[in-house]
A and B are shown apart, each in its own frame.
Chain A
Amino acid sequence: MRRTLIALAAASFAASGQVPYERLRNAQTEAQNWLTYNGSYASNHHSALDQITPGNVRNLELKWVWQANSLEKLEATPLVVDGVIYLTDPPNDVVAVDARTGRVFWTYRHPLPPGVAPCCGQVNRGLAILDNTLYLGTLDGRLVALDAGSGRKKWDAKVADYTKGYALTVAPLAVKDKIIIGSACGEFGIRGFVAAHDAKTGKQIWKFNTIPAPGEPGHETWKGDSWKYGGGSVWVTGSYDPALNLTYWGIGNPGPDWNPYVRPGDNLYTDCVLALDPDTGQMKWHFQFTPNDNWDFDSVQIPVLADIKWKDRERKVMLWGNRNGFFYVLDRTSGEFLLGKPFVKQTWAAGLDERGRPVRVPGKGPSLAGTEVWPGVQGGTNWYAPSFSPRTQLFYLTAWEDYHSTYYAWEQEYEAGKWYAGGSVRAEVPAIRREAIRTWGPEAGYGVVRAIDPQTGTRVWDYKMSDVSDSGLLTTAADLLFSGNREGHFFALDAKNGKLLWNRYLGGQVASSPISYSVDGKQYVTIAAGHSLFTFGLREPQ
């Protein structure tokens, strides 16, 4: 009995870590933890841990596996807070797990009402933590606050109306005393937004609509009523620069996806990155990657913030490998375009002009008969995490190379809460892996982990895979790069040259991003594959 009590006390101590805003702000100094969806506000997916090295990575062994109840794919990146892992089990359950053993502390189950049918899968990408509270966005449009120690619900607040097609799949971002979140389901003719809620009460403080209403700047880029269901979803977590007090969010595609002929104009702020004041929601600047998009090139990639010497001077930059196939360097103070180059084969743009606006190749829009375009509908890259290593000064991303689709467009009437894509797409590579069998040929496209020099936008090295990949990346202070892929492999590369140093076949597709943490001075790496979370550490002497 006494022993049980002690164990309980230890567990509850471990599970009730306080994470005030100051810890989030300085997350990069806590290499043992993973305090936000992207590891830190700069979102560079780089761990300062260096115990696992190119020299000993071959000694990694499986420490534990956590198995989900759900058969949906795991897209969430876990949080690690002082020895406790918090992760979501799709669609909207939350689990607290011991980071050393994989044993479960508690489970929260979020019941969904009947009729919740989000556009693009029963997906959740994770949680935010602030003080002693975890924050979860749900498919029925709620922001749920949970006590991190017990998993008990503190409150839940309505953010969006699921009956009109809105769903929350993004991991929220905690900034100061607010929780920032947005809505997915751009294929349902929603009108997207970024919103901030009071972390204590759930009350909405501000809301920035990603599709401007009549009278608002940018509304002139829409025709007629098209703005009312213009998409502009938010489904991947943004970044934050405390010094500039700006939070950056990537915005999804315009709707209907493949029929741009009903919405002539640039369709702001779809396919943009927005720089917002987290206190007021006011926009400081925006940059649009693909004006009047008709290929579903969501710009929801993670804004990677880096302070580097770029060309001749120190600059606060944002590095961005976009779904449209171009790599960008922006000045994140002003949004100034510094550099842009294709990082995969693309056939829709002749290049970018001096302000970064694409010069479109005529005749590449979707059509009734079908139009073949590179990259295909899943893009040159997508939502999974890229990485920037301050040590190698390289930007790394997972890319779909030589991959194309045939895009079709047709007329479609808008109906609230229903599919509104205005066309279709065919590609040999499935959008989501369905089975472990892969038989298509290399001409359908393939996956690479690619290292890019931000100074020039040129490729430094490639690690080529047979199949495409939906896995994010992690670099570490020992110059290792961890990633997985759709084939079901989890592997480590030398971040300096892309050489494969270690690989394990986990047998289920990877559709999230690896993380690293340490407990009791021991470094671990964790990845979700299939319906399980796998954690590896160095083999210990017997």
Chain B
Amino acid sequence: MRCKAVLLCCAILPVVAQHGSVKVVNPYTSPEDLAAGAKLFRAQCATCHGEAARGTTTGPDLTSGSLRHGSSDEAIFLTISKGVSGTPMPAFNFAGERIWTLVTHIRAMSIARGASQASGNPGEGRRIYQSAGCAGCHTVAGEGGLVGPDLSDVGSRLSLQELRSSVLQPDGTVAPEYWTASLRMSSGQKITGTRLNEDTFSIQLRDSKGKLISVYRKDVADYEIVRKSPMPGSGAKLKTPELDHLLAFLASLRNSDVGSGQ
């Protein structure tokens, strides 16, 4: 009977995608299914996605709750079964039952990561975000500066603990795409900006005004990669309630949702 249910689900998935009228429910969510999914994940998925599903250089983080090829149960099912063309993600020809146990495990990993709840008031946090000048460098829902990372979905990317460290110790973990390129040209001109790309012959960066700049290495006399965050450590000055409010606001930022601090 259970097998029939899986087959049926597989068969109707495209219809669901088209009309969105029927919600496919994962029928394999028991503790046994979860254990089977965890085992299968470790054997088949962990090499690229990491043992804790936090991603490697080959496969992305699967615990954010916001996945590139769809975050619903059926979207995850389809991504696993069909693969993603043009990426290292192959199609896995597992029985439907086994794919559902993987979906169960991936869901459990996301839930485990987001377990701790913010204690502050998101509305109060939004006010602090604005008054502290965060928006000068960061964007939320299309508004704000370009120097720092877009925070529109930061609540789905980082755990509360990770948000806290990012605010208090901005130099702790700076993603390479936010490193600064500091150049002194042969002409004497100095150029500084966010390091966007580079190859053997040229370096691309974006200055603080958002201007895109490309320089030839042959014209560069001195090149330094600054791995520190330009973000002021002003978060450390926040007292406990203000910090909790700010973290609650950041945790509420989940993609199209612009936060619950209205």
Contact = CB atoms under 8 A, between A and B. Distances in A.
Nearest to A442: B225
A121 B89 CA distance: 8
B176 A487 contact: no
Contact of B87 (A408, A434, A467, A488): A434
A466 B200 contact: yes
B176 A71 contact: no
Contacts of B57: 426-431
A424 B200 contact: no
11 contacts: A71-B85, A72-B86, A410-B51, A419-B43, A421-B47, A436-B197, A441-B225, A465-B199, A466-B200, A467-B200, A503-B201
A438 B201 CA distance: 13
Contacts of B42: 410, 412
Given A117-B83, A427-B57, A432-B88, A438 B43 contact: no
A431 B58 contact: yes
B86 A438 contact: no
Interface string B174-187: 00110100000000
B81 to A, nearest CB: 10
Contacts of B198: 438-439, 466
Contacts of B87: 434
B46 interface: yes
Contacts of B90: 117-119, 121
A243 interface: no
A121 B88 contact: yes
A423 B88 CA distance: 18
B43 A413 contact: yes
B206 interface: no
A434 to B, nearest CB: 7
B86 A419 contact: no
A50 interface: no
A388 B262 CA distance: 69
A64 B179 CA distance: 39
Contacts of B130: none
A418 interface: yes
B229 to A, nearest CB: 15
A419 B47 contact: yes
B43 A412 contact: yes
B230 interface: no
Interface string A264-279: 0000000000000000
Interface in B56-113: 56-58, 83, 85-88, 90-93
A426 B195 CA distance: 23
Given A424-B51, A438-B198, A441-B225, A115 B58 contact: no
Contacts of B176: 439-441
A436 B202 CA distance: 13
A71 B86 contact: yes
Given A440-B176, A487-B199, A487-B200, A431 B43 contact: no
A437 interface: yes
A257 to B, nearest CB: 9
B50 interface: yes
Interface residues of A, number: 44
Interface in B188-213: 195-201
B117 interface: no
Contact of A425 (B47, B200, B227): B47
A489 interface: yes
Interface string B114-135: 0000000000000000000000
Nearest to A73: B86
B231 to A, nearest CB: 18
A307 interface: no
Interface in A399-457: 408, 410, 412-413, 415, 418-421, 423-432, 434, 436-441
B144 to A, nearest CB: 22
Contact of A418 (B43, B196, B225): B43
A529 B85 CA distance: 18
Contacts of B200: 464-467, 485, 487, 489
Contacts of A413: 43
Nearest to B181: A439
Nearest to A503: B201
Nearest to A434: B87
A415 B44 CA distance: 10
A119 B43 CA distance: 13
A199 to B, nearest CB: 32
Interface string A497-528: 00000010100000000000000000000000
Nearest to A441: B225
A427 B57 CA distance: 7
Nearest to B86: A71
A410 B39 CA distance: 12
Nearest to A414: B43
A436 B204 CA distance: 12
A121 B87 CA distance: 8
B92 A117 contact: yes
Nearest to A415: B43
Interface string B2-25: 000000000000000000000000
A426 B43 contact: no
Contacts of B51: 408, 410, 424
B179 A439 contact: yes
B168 to A, nearest CB: 25
A422 to B, nearest CB: 9
A438 B197 contact: yes
6 closest A-B pairs by beta carbon, nearest first, are A439-B176, A487-B199, A115-B93, A71-B86, A430-B57, A466-B200
A489 B198 CA distance: 13
